[in-house]
A and B are shown apart, each in its own frame.
Chain A
Amino acid sequence: MLSKRLCIMAERYHNFDIYPEAVSPEFDRGDLLLKGFGCQAKRTAEYILAQPIGLNDDDRFVGRIRFNGCVEGEIYNRSGYKNNNELISKFYKQPFENLCTYDSQHSTADFGRVIAEGLEASLIKIEESRSKHAGDLDGLSYLDALETVIRAMIARADLCAAACEEKAAFAEEPRRSELLEMARILHKVPAKPAETFREAIQSLFFLFQFLPDSIGTPDRYLYSYYRHDLDAKICTEEEMKEYIQELFVTINAFRPYDNLWSGDKGGESHFSLGGFTPDGKDGFNDLSRLIITAMMELPLYRPQVSLRWTPETPIEVLHFVMDAERNDFFKRIALVNDVPRVKMLTNHIGMAYEDAIRYTMIGCNEPAIQGAIYYGGCKTNMVRSLTRTLYDFENECIACEDFDAFFEVYRKHYEEDMKRFIEICDGFNLYRSRDVDMISSILLNGPIEKARSATRSGLKVATSGTDMIGWVTVIDSLCVIRQFVYEEKRFTMAELIAMLRADWNGFEEIRREIYRTAKYHGNDDPLSREVAAKVSRMIRDFFTDKRNVFGFKFVIGNQIGYCAHHTYFGKNTPATPDGRHAGDNISFGGGQGGGRDRKGLTALLNSVADMDPACIVCGPCVTNVMLDESLIRNDSYFRKTVSMVDSYFRKGGLHVQLNYVSREELLAAQQEPQSHENLRVRVSGFSGYFTRLDPGIQREIIDRTVKS
């Protein structure tokens, strides 16, 4: 049960902005004359030290700070990231060449390292790096900049400690002792290594402010402190739970209420629990369980959490997490499979196993390496190359005697589009690299050693990527071509293209026949499975040796983010062979909808589990499943649902998130939003209030077939 203290905190969070208002210091214009990165470093340091210190009467952790954009170039929370923001304003919602949009990237601090080492260890590393980069003026200037910022962060921690001491002078017991203890801790962390659970949480609380994205894998890097404190009887689990909850209240509040996205505070803050350990076992531990318990008591929209399932995950753990999920009004939990993802990170990206298993889930169901950036990804319109093939190269298509021949024609144009995507993606990354980040780089791995900003390939490891939007539209369309044109010969290729050019007008009966009898994805049919496998291998074959401008490999996903990219692309995409009209949405994710999946839940899950035999998808991906509420409200049925998810993962399914709401309720919510204000759904990689979502996203959710 939530303690009184946390009830008050949660209440305050809901009613107020608990962050102190950011102050824009007056900068000396002379800063502009400083060499190298001196100006940005000086101003960043001055900004940090100028910010007020928020300390409420019941706070146990101090350090909230918000960046308002007057300091340049921070990757997250993107407020001063000018060139990035310019790209977002021009390319996030507006597809370029109807091929791709720009996607801002996530960055995931290696909090575990910094908490364990302390910031002063980074100063030592800077000194070591200076000797390696003698003669590299830019590199040395950058290292100076990092040192300036680190010292400002340490100084700020001391200011926070002083604020606690000041308040302690006027406080009564037990608050007085508590404040003095807080001051002691802040004089120590994050400058020096944490030694207790409370110190580690304070360090995390403080550092999170400087890269407020994901907290990564807290059940791993906090576990030693958790175990130590329990064994030494320094702290109880109940106390630890409250510390975690106080941290989560702040994580949830770092961005003020923002109706632009899903109508919630807290951005996309997302982390993960469990997953493979270095010795191949399952890493879900007692701290993981405590974190879930802590989260579920809090009436907050964020953070989100993904359980990283492994074949060693006990069914009882899956039941525990899914039980929390089914009872969670805020829909904060998703489930991912470690096996295909770790396999992809080792085989395709080339990471060592020990590094690959340190990945975490962030943002909108996106895998990220702790201490690295995911070099934004574009969203890419995968349907474009298929429609180009059919509409612009009609004679080539008509000349194909069988499906395999047609597929090779399509592959050629797909590869042309992907080469163009890489050019555009590189352009985006180079433009963004005009921004130089400092604060984030301190918490990432590589910039100190390489003496380069994270935005300029200063990272030890990173990935780039793209979400292929329209993947299932492509599979379905190829299935129709193979089935109707080449196997059943119900119409010729020329006739099909004529129907497409007419946007099915005058051919409604054939279109309906296609809809009724096509062997679409999601029905566990051998034809669609073979077609999906061909597509998977095609993507792998192209990307296997491709790297971005900074030398990092591409990670492939299939989902949209907060915005309805499948609608934006769909608007300028002509009719497709699967029966889709010109201008209609294209698909996203790996699931199916619109009544095309007809054989029930296991058939859908089988199809999704089998759709990527090349194991190329390990990026952001989503499989949404709509279940009738009876499947989780009845305990006996719920146990079967848990068993089904376990089997799905064993078969290779990568991701699943569950919604238990009927189509009727969603349609009613569209008609009468005022009566359904509290209806929450899992969308892509996040949850949100259904009535506030983009209409294109609402439509997609409604079209998901409900399983019962």
Chain B
Amino acid sequence: MDIEDKLRILSDSAKYDAACTSSGKTHSSADGIGCCERSGICHSFSADGRCITLLKVLLSNCCIYSCSYCVNRAGNDIPRACFTPRELADLTMNFYRRNYIEGLFLSSAVMKDPDYTCEQMIECLSILRNEYRFRGYIHAKAIPGADSTLTARLGLLADRMSVNIELPSQKSLEKLAPDKTKQSILLPMSQISNRIQENSTELVKYRHAPKFAPAGQSTQMIIGASPDTDFQIIRLSEALYKKYSLKRVFFSAYVPVGDQRILPKAGTPVPLLREHRLYQADWLLRFYGFSANELLDEKHQSFDPMYDPKCCWALAHPEIFPLEINRADYELLLRVPGIGVKSAYRIITARRRTNLDFSDLKKLGVVLKRAQYFITCKGRLEEGLKITERGMRRQLMSENVAKALDIGNDPEQLSFFDEPSEQKLLPEKEDYVKCLTGQM
């Protein structure tokens, strides 16, 4: 099989892994080729709009496991291939020199057994790091079930490591991926997390200690393959961030490539909006100081398809608004819809010099269309602002959702809003379904 066919088969098998960042570490190529940029660099964007920054491939897609959601499960009729470690190292170097990629994302199906698979991956990365002196970014997946010393060696060669949790609850895991136990997934995560911690103490004592996964650890969950709710997922993400000090949790909307006897069938729409809401919530947890319990709770287990989580929270807490722009704390400013991290920082910088008014806020990049309902400047609301429930809700909705629901800009046209109720909007059930499955 020539390398072009192998590349096609093995990148086709790897494409459902959402992790695609090359951020988290700065490195210069003092003694080799390549460097890392702290913010990460996007080299291209695929036809589905996702960023391409790394050469994302499996070392092999010949798997002995049969996890039902996975396209590479044993027994599934797809072409199988395997790179030799040197072939992959050569390919990576040549792509890297042409600035096609920032580095390598290496995962693998489990060939023979987890230890053997890990050893093959280590060989490929050793060729890259030691023989070709590659100093670019490497993201390696840890193989659940592999020996801890092998995982440790992998961490010394890679910049970021990850273990995919895939399914958000033990029950789903038992049903859909019986070869992987909860222990076999969480154990390497905790090993990696502990090793990273030990490494940071070692580096304090000895500056040239070898670095273990300097860009940290991440993981991924599949959305829509199991009945777990948004609340369970976001609570699990929060716990993972706290317990394992992960850098990122990725969410991957389920594409029906799995075993159709127990999973959604082919033709089921991919739950893109739900994935989008989860990423919005993830950002709120990491950058806006929210906790999972503030966004959802036992009674509200799913995100609202009409409004993003931050808006929902703001609408549910009218007691803290309106905020005075020239006085409010940074933490509270972050909670206003239409004010992001950058705008909030600019507000507190600019207001040291002068009192701000609405035209100043516009210059600073605040989205007044949304924020105007929640803030005052110098004690006053925006001039000419009429606060009606329907008008406000229309303005807070995203353009795509409003267009899909056929809601015009003039609040008077709406028939949805005749009785403002606790349930906010009362669209048809089909519209809810359309939102959830990404047709809107």
A binds B: no
